Amino acid sequence: MKRCLLIISFDGTAYHGWQVQPGLLTVQKVMNESLEKLLGAPTDVTGCSRTDTGVHAREFAFHIDCDDAIPKEAFLKGLNSILPKDIAVKSCKEVPSDFHARYDILGKRYVYGMYSGNKNPFDERYFLHIDSEPDINLMNKFAATVIGEHDFCGFSSSGRTVEDTVRKISDCSVRKNENKIYFSVTADGFLYNMVRILAGTALAVGYGRLSADVANTVFDRKDRTLAGDTLPAHGLFLDKVFY
């Protein structure tokens, strides 16, 4: 028996997030079924985190235990041939038997994408369309204020299932490439809807609707209503998992 770490990417449009839910199509459900078909037996799949309905991943990690003797290249080719077109395995490697895809994470990076200008049907799937370009400098001023260890209770939705709302952000920034805007944040962990609320707050700051130092007030008062909107899921990508 060996433990393997797999890295996948997926388009989350058709899925109700990663985690198995009764009666719903999820990425984990598809992965379970595909691995069982390939290996000939049920295989427990332990993911690095949950993702919300409609959220995408450029890099998502999970581990499995198996006694499969198929060479790595053949295993990847076989699994990818079974998976639907919107899920792909990027890599697979053997890890120590005590490795855990979720609990051994050092951090994760999420990126939220927006675009301005005329509506583009080829961008609508992965970017939020905004009417006009916000002030990127103001957005970055806001981004700088959330770096560090803070209580992000006011930047999360009421549906969160954890009591500890303190998280440490190591990097947060906004960049522009032509008409595309990318809000990027790296942290040791995230609360429910935290990234989408941070991105929505940054956008509101960029439009001058909120002050660039609004995060300090949200941290002090722990009041969700003082932050910006929760942006739609389709613009959000889990970009990188750090071990």
Distance CA 52, CA 192 (A): 9
Residue identified by tokens 């390939």 is 38
Nearest alpha-carbon partner for 230 in 207, 208, 201: 201
Q: List the beta bridge partners of residue 236.
A: 112
| Sign of the alpha-carbon torsion through 153, 156, 161, 167 | negative
Residue of 11, 44, 52, 86 marked catalytic: 52
Classify burial at 53, counting beta carbons within 10 Å of its beta carbon; exposed 0-12, middle 13-18, buried 19 or more.
Answer: middle
Which two structure tokens, joined as six digits, stand for 187?
């942290």
The answer to whether residues 15 and 48 touch, using CB atoms and an 8 Å cutoff, is no
State which H helix or E strand residue 182 sits in.
Answer: strand 180-187
- Would you call 188 a catalytic residue per the annotation? no
Distance CA 143, CA 172 (A): 5
- Residues assigned a catalytic role: 52
